Structure 1
Amino acid sequence: MKKFWKWFLIVVGVLLVIDIGAGMYFFHTAEVRDKKSFISNDAKITKNDPLLRQKTWYKNVKKENWSMTSATGDLKLKAYYIPAERPSDKTVILAHGFLQSKDGEGGPAAMFHELGYNVLAPDDRAHGDSQGKLIGYGWTDRRDYIKWMNKLLKIKGSHQQLVMYGVSMGGATTMMVSGEPDVPTQVKAYIEDCGYTSVEDEITYQAKSMYNLPKWPLVPTVSLISKIRAGYDYSEASSLKQLAKNKKPMLFIHGSKDTFVPTKMVYQLYDATKGPREKYIVKGAGHAESLQTDYPKYKRTVKQFLNRYME
């Protein structure tokens, strides 16, 4: 019997070491600022890009460089501000995707500029020109965006009407912001494009999709490491939970052929929000491709949605 327990403990110990080692590896893959092989952060403009005109405009337009300290007070964050062509009290705050940056916001920035909006495009912590080593998947960023909003209102005036828009991780960030109790009253509406239901759901899905690994025990282990190192676990970083506290209008956009953040998530998100809601599924669009798949209809849908809530 003693021999059995000896070997049992050895096996458990070996499995625990393997689990922790794998957890540390996948934590680095998921959250540590670095180039990732599974996603591109290339913001180069190609001649066959459906959004060539919009991205070229964005590259060349004069931008104001803004900066502030993060909500946690330890990081310096950067942003671009582009005033509308004509004086306007309407401003959109753009939230970019995973490993993206403000430099890659040409499509949505141009669309909102064409609609008469000022544009504020921040770099999330651990992205672009902002400081930080750990990626927050929207959860740690949500407080930074509220601080950006307040900075904007202080500089440009409290009469501003604000809209928040985000794609992919930026879509999740937008939804996570929506559930905060101190969002400025000047925020009139939100638009999220292909955001995930929660970090836990997305990491679980990617573990299966990319590595054919089950949720247990890997995802809980990585989540625990995240709690220790980054200050949050994956279950608390939930768009669904935040939407349950949101009462402002939200437009949900998703590509019908999204296999990175599966399309089924948008229906759960749509059902979760407590505010006025609309849904736009872009036929044939993959992940974060809805804007380029049908730019005229996308722009028209956004315009019609905002016209209902902006004065």
Structure 2
Amino acid sequence: MKKFWKWFLIIIAALVVIDIGAASYFYHVAVVPGHKDFLSSTTTLKKSDPLYQQKSWYQRVHKQVWHENSATDNLKLDAYYIPAARKSTKTAVIAHGFMDDKTKMGASAAMFHKMGYNVLVPDDRGQGDSQGNYIGFGWPDRLDYIKWMNLLLKRNGQNQQLVMYGVSMGGATTMMVSGEKNVPKQLKAYVEDCGYTSVNDEITYEAKTMYHLPYWPLVPSVSGITQLRAGYNFKEASALKQVAKNHRPMLFIHGSKDKFVPTRMVYPLYRADKGPKQLLIVKGAAHAKSMATQPKLYTKTVEKFLAQYVK
């Protein structure tokens, strides 16, 4: 009997060591900023890009560089600010995706600028020129975006009409912001494009589809390491719970062929929202490709939706 328990404990200890090792590895894959093999590294702008004109404009246009401190950890954050062509009280705050940064948001910045908006495009913690050694997946970042909004109001006046827009992780960030009580009253509407229901759901989905790994014990272990090292866990980082507390207008957009943040995630998000809302499913669009797939429909839908709430 003693021999049985000895081997039993040895096996358990070995499994624990293996789990900790695997969790540490996947923490670096998912949460630590850096090159990701599963993401495209192409940065060259090609004329064949359906959004070439918008992105080309963004590369050329003069951008002010703004700074703010994070809501926690006292990190120095960086952003681009582009004033509207004509003086305007309308400002769009744009949130980028996973391992993207402010330099990659040319198409959306151009869309809002053409609509007459000022545009603010921050770098999230640990990405672009902002400080930090972890990716927040939108959760700690949601508090940073509220600070950015307050900075806008301080610099541009309290009569600003703000809109928040985000794609992929930025879409989830947008929804996570929407559930906070201290969002400025000047925030009139949200537009989220292909955001996930929660970090827990998204990491679980990617573990299964990319690595053929089950939820247990890997995802809870990576979440635990994230709690220790980055100060948040995957389950609390829920766009679904946050959007259920939102009463302001929100436009939900998702591609019908999204296999990175599966299209099915948008439906519970849309149902949970308590404010005025609209859902656009872009036929044939892959992840974060809705604007590129149907640029006219995309822009027209965003413009028409926001025109109801931003005057």
TM over 0.5: yes
- Alignment-derived partner of residue 126 in structure 2: 126
- Alignment-derived partner of residue 257 in structure 1: 257
- Alignment-derived partner of residue 284 in structure 2: 284
CA distance in 2, matches of 1:85, 1:174: 25
Letter in 1 for 2:305: F
Map residues 57-76 of structure 1 onto 2, 5 A cutoff. 57-76=57-76
Letter in 1 for 2:68: M
Give SS of 2:183's match.
coil
| Unaligned ranges ≥5, structure 2 | none
Letter in 1 for 2:108: P
Give SS of 2:190's match.
strand
Letter in 1 for 2:50: P
- Alignment-derived partner of residue 161 in structure 2: 161
- Alignment-derived partner of residue 200 in structure 2: 200
| Unaligned ranges ≥5, structure 1 | none
Give me the TM-score of the superposition, normalised by structure 1: 0.99
CA shift for structure 1 position 44: 2.7
Please tell me whether residue 5 in structure 1 is matched to residue 5 in structure 2: yes
CA shift for structure 1 position 34: 1.0
Q: 8 Å contact 1:247–1:275 — kept in the other structure? A: yes
Letter in 2 for 1:158: Q
CA shift for structure 1 position 303: 0.7
RMSD value, Cα: 0.8
**Greater mean deviation of Cα atoms: 73-82 or 123-132:** 73-82
Which whole-Å deviations, capped at 9, do the CAs of 1:62-121 have from their partners, x for residues lacking one? 111111111115211110110111111100000000000100111000011111111000
CA shift for structure 1 position 24: 0.4
- Alignment-derived partner of residue 85 in structure 2: 85
Q: 8 Å contact 1:253–1:279 — kept in the other structure? A: yes
CA shift for structure 1 position 40: 2.6
Please tell me whether residue 217 in structure 1 is matched to residue 217 in structure 2: yes
Which contiguous aligned blocks of 4+ residues in structure 1 show a shift greater than 3 angstroms? none
Which whole-Å deviations, capped at 9, do the CAs of 1:29-53 have from their partners, x for residues lacking one? 1001111101135443112111000
Q: 8 Å contact 1:93–1:165 — kept in the other structure? A: yes
CA distance in 2, matches of 1:11, 1:132: 38
Map residues 99-178 of structure 1 onto 2, 5 A cutoff. 99-178=99-178
Letter in 2 for 1:32: V
- Alignment-derived partner of residue 97 in structure 2: 97
- Alignment-derived partner of residue 53 in structure 1: 53
Give SS of 1:140's match.
helix
Q: 8 Å contact 1:83–1:117 — kept in the other structure? A: yes
Give SS of 2:92's match.
strand
Q: 8 Å contact 1:252–1:270 — kept in the other structure? A: yes
Letter in 2 for 1:153: L
